[in-house]
């Protein structure tokens, strides 16, 4: 199973949608709440090439993007191979 990491903020609807998709697929993921900023936010900015919106999702250290990007991968049938 792939290593999935997701940077989120409290009460973020897009974050909830991305996590729901991953959970529905039976994928476990490591979540980093950056609501209060700090070193994890700086880490996310560096890994996501300056993208500051949440969620920011990584699969096996590959930057996927946000919730819409994750959903687009699913629609195209490209998500499952990444998660395998």
The parent domain of residue 56 ranges over 4-83
Q: What is the pLDDT of residue 26?
A: 96
The structure's pTM equals: 0.96
7, 55, 6: which is closest to 28 by C-alpha? 6
Q: What is the pLDDT of residue 1?
A: 86
CATH of the domain at 55: 3.40.30.10
Q: Torsion over CA of 2, 46, 71 and 73, rounded to 10 degrees?
A: -60
Mean pLDDT, rounded, of the chain: 97
81, 77, 72: which is closest to 27 by C-alpha? 81
Q: What is the mean pLDDT of residues 6-27?
A: 98
Domain count, the chain: 1
Check pLDDT > 90 for residue 75: yes
Q: How many CB atoms lie within 10 A of CB 73?
A: 20
């Amino acid at each position: 199973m792939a290593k999935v990491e997701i940077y989120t903020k409290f009460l973020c609807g897009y974050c909830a949608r991305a996590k729901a998709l991953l959970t529905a697929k039976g994928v476990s993921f490591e979540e980093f709440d950056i609501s209060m900023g700090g070193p994890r936010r700086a880490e996310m900015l560096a890994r996501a090439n300056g993208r500051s919106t949440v969620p920011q999702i990584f699969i096996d250290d590959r930057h996927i993007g946000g919730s819409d990007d994750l959903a687009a991968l699913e629609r195209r049938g490209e998500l499952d191979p990444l998660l395998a």
